[in-house]
Structure 1
Amino acid sequence: MFVSTAYAQTAAPGGGADMFMSMLPLVLIFVVFYFLLIRPQQRKMKEHKSMLDAVRRGDRIVTGGGIIGTVTKVGPEDELTVEIAENVRVRVLRSTVNLVLAKGEPAKGEAAKAGEGAATATVEAAKPEGAAKSLGKLFGRK
């Protein structure tokens, strides 16, 4: 009695725009994740790898276990000999180094090449960074 007759509707022409609009939020989320998470993490990993490659004898380092020591020998196959106390030396893998606290003096052969530039770089590396620089690095700026 009160039920009206149902009629079939025709198909909507060109459903491509609807599909694009439904995928747009997913694409935007991926772009935000890339710029806020993935890209800064890749940059940080690249900087850490270059820091590990630059470790040399005389550098003060912090290992992954929190041990602070001075590199006494850079061995083959990514091994470092670290002096953690007087006459106490341990071998660690280069990949376990988390931080280089202070760059040591260059070896005798490297001293002639580096000259005064190494001393200046050591002093600049020891200066703490300002809050603005830290925020800049966080967002991928130098």
Structure 2
Amino acid sequence: MFQMIFLQASEPGMMNMLMLVAFIAVFYFFMIRPQMAKQKKEKQFRSEIKKGINVVTTSGIHGRIVEVNDTNNTVVIETGAGKIRFERAAISMELTKKYSESK
């Protein structure tokens, strides 16, 4: 009887369906879910940008934020070469914490 139940459970169609469900679950938990969490964290960071923090842009420019304009979602970053206006979405990460930890 147990042999008959085992043989029924190992049908090719059922096994393929199980593999497909397992593949989708692994894909979701290792690819999609972490990416969604990362996007949420970046969106929160960009909404909390304030004057005086050191940042890096997506193009690799390092500087300090000297002005935040909420009406058109731009920030002015002071670099060694002068002041540059960027879109808020172009800010990649904050460096203020990294600088203070290394000192």
Normalising to structure 1: TM-score of the pair?
A: 0.57
Highest Rg: 1 or 2?
1
Q: How does 1:53-72 map to 2 (within 5 A)?
A: 53-72=47-66
TM-score normalised to structure 2 length: 0.77
Percent of aligned pairs sharing the same letter: 30
> Which residues of structure 1 form unaligned runs of 5+?
1-16, 103-121, 129-142
Distance of 1:83 and 1:37 partners within structure 2: 36
Q: List aligned pairs for 1:107-118, cutoff 5 A.
A: none
Give per-residue Cα distances to partners, 1:33-67, cap 9 Å, x unaligned. Answer: 11111111111111111111111000111001111
Higher percent of residues as helix: 2
Deviation at 1:78, TM superposition (A): 1.1
- Distance between the aligned counterparts of 1:30 and 1:46, measured in 2? 22
Q: Indicate the residue corresponding to 1:94 in structure 2.
A: 88
**Where in structure 1 do 4 or more consecutive aligned residues deviate above 6 Å?**
none
**Paired amino acid for 1:42:** M
1:122-137 correspondence runs (5 A): 126-127=100-101
2:24 and 2:72 mapped to 1: Cα distance? Answer: 38
Question: Structure 2 vs 1, CA of residues 126 and 41 (structure 1 numbering), >3 Å: closer, same or farther?
Answer: farther
What is the aligned length? 91
1:34 alignment partner, one of 28, 37, 47: 28
Where does residue 83 of structure 1 map in the other structure? 78
1:25 is aligned to 2:25 = no
| Gaps in structure 2 of 5+ consecutive residues | 1-10
Report the aligned-residue RMSD: 2.2
2:95 aligns to what SS in structure 1?
strand
| Partner residue, 2:46 | 52
Distance (whole Å) between structure 1 residues aligned to residue 100 and residue 28 of structure 2: 32
